[in-house]
Each structure stands twice: as structure tokens, then as C-alpha cells.
Amino acid sequence: MTLAPSSDQLTVGPSQGRRSRRGGGKRAGSAFARSPISYVFVSPYALLTIVFGIIPSLYAVVLAFTDADGGFVGFDNFTKVIDDFRFWPAVFHVTIYLVIWLLGLVVFVVGLALMVHAIGVRWVSATLRFVYYLPGALAGASSVLLWLFVLDPTASPVSGLLSAMGFHSFVQVIQPGNLPAIFAIIAFWTGAGGWIIIMYGALNNISTEVIEAARIDGANAVQIALRIQLPMLRKWVAYMGVMSLAAGTQLFVEPQLLSQASNAVVPNDYSLNQLAYQYAFQQNDFNGAAAISLLLLVVALLLSWVFVTRGGLFEKE
């Protein structure tokens, strides 16, 4: 026999409903309450960002639109650096370098991460991840100094490969036409390991039930990678693109050290950052250097916006 609920059980008064909503709202609000200690942890980063990020950027904006005496000159500084005969070759060098490096990151980092993730033996996978990460432990300058020996056929451990490619001297290897690929290889060698580990962690977050369901449906490893894993890595690939683009536009250490080591075979204005350095410390023109920096910032932000929108970086699942 079914017992019908009484009218007391069915009736909820307006005051009760309001109390219930208020109580629920209070509980929901408490779940998002900020602990005071969180502000303590965030404050050093926020302070450093303001002091060494926001304030210098604002100062660069002021310098870019003024002259040495502080007078407003509009876009004259931008016109000056764009008309400089060194500007467009530097733009071309950085562009070619970025294209090679970003394509290499997307293809090889994602490919290596998928391969490591597919390895069933745990210690082998962990060892490979450690080996991939080791080059990233070297600082940028130290890494370039190491590559000075690798690129010299007379001292390189891969001198046989360099000779087979037709390179018999250090000067032949570092000709300007070879530099975008060389810089991309150096950057990949130092930075790819960290991204492989990040992609590996992202692959671990993909539901095993989805993978198993695909296998039951007859999908092989390649089909699972192309149709399940790669689409789910889209946001991580976009994130890698944004961060790598920001670092790549700041190309400076590699060409600067090679320029000094090669007795100016590599020009000291090869990249835009080097050109800005020349303006600031060789020509004593900080306003022109600030204009180059702002141009780099604007281009990097626009390209990052493309990565963010096309990669769906902030889209909710």
C-alpha cells in the first residue's frame, strides 16, 4: 500500500523557500571564499610583475612616443626604426626562425609525447622523460656555448655528419642562411623536454574509458592518436604555441654569442632584440629601442590572440 504524503509535507511556505535559498547561497558562497593566506602567496608574484613588468612596459610606451628631451613626437620613432635598413632583415630572420621552431615543437613534441605515453613499461617511459628534460637544465648561454663545439667540425662529436653535409669549418656551418634552422634546433633541444612532460601529463588526463571504448570499436593506436588524443590536446598545443611565441620573438642570446664567437660572421643586428640593443647601447637611442620593443609586443600579442582563439584555450568543456 502506498502512503500519500500529507499536506504538511507538500507545502513549503514562501519564508521557508527564502530561507532555503539564502542558506544555499551562503553555502555556495563559502565554497568560493578566498583564504587570506592565498593573497600572501600571490602578493610576491603580483609585486614583481608590477615592478619588473608593468612599470617598465609603461615606461617603454612613454619612451617610444617621445624624443630624448621628453617631447611628444608621435610615431616618429616607429617610422625611424622601420626605415632602418637593418629592420626588415631582422624581421625576416626572426620570422623564419619562429616558423621552423613552432612547427618543430608542434610536430615533434606532440609526436614524442604520444610515443612515450604509448610505452607500457613504466620505468622506460620515466627514463625517457628524464632524458628529454635534461637539456632544459642548461641555461640559455651555457647551451649556446655547448653548441659552439657541436657546430665546429674540427671538435664536434658529430663531425662525420657535418662533413657528410658539406661543412668542413665552423664558418661554413654558421653562415646566415643556416642560422634560422640552427637556432631552432638549439631552442628545441633546450626547451622541448619540458613541453614533452607537460603533454605527457595532459595525455594522462584523458579518460581511460574513452580510449578503451575506441579500442573495443576496433580503433588502432594511430586512429586513437589522431581522432581522440590530438583533439583533446588542442588547448595544450595552443598554450605551448603562445608561450613559445613569446620566447621566440625575444631571440637574442644565441645570435649574440655566435656573433662574438665568429668574429662578426653572424651580424650583431641579426634579430630584432639585437637591433634594439644596438639602438640603446651603441647609438644611445633608447627611444628607438623602445619603439622596436613595442612593435615586438604588438606582433606577439596579435599572434598569441590567433593561437588562443583558434586553439580554444579559454573555452569551457
Q: Say how many C-beta atoms besides its own lie within 10 A of residue 117's C-beta.
A: 19
Q: Which residues contact 158 (CB under 8 A, 6 or more apart)?
A: 150
- The partner residues of 317 in beta bridges, in order of sequence, read none
Distance (Å, whole) CA 186 – CA 227: 32
State pTM to two decimals: 0.80
Torsion angle in degrees (nearest 10) through CA of 17, 18, 22, 24:
10
Domains, in order of start, for the chain? 85-311 (1.10.3720.10)
Question: 152-209, pLDDT tens digit by residue?
Answer: 898 888 889 898 988 988 888 988 889 999 999 888 888 888 888 889 888 988 888 8
Residue type at 103?
L
Question: 19-66, pLDDT tens digit by residue?
Answer: 444 444 444 444 445 678 888 889 999 999 999 989 999 999 999 999
Q: What is the pLDDT of residue 279?
A: 95
Question: 132-150, pLDDT tens digit by residue?
Answer: 877 777 666 677 788 888 8
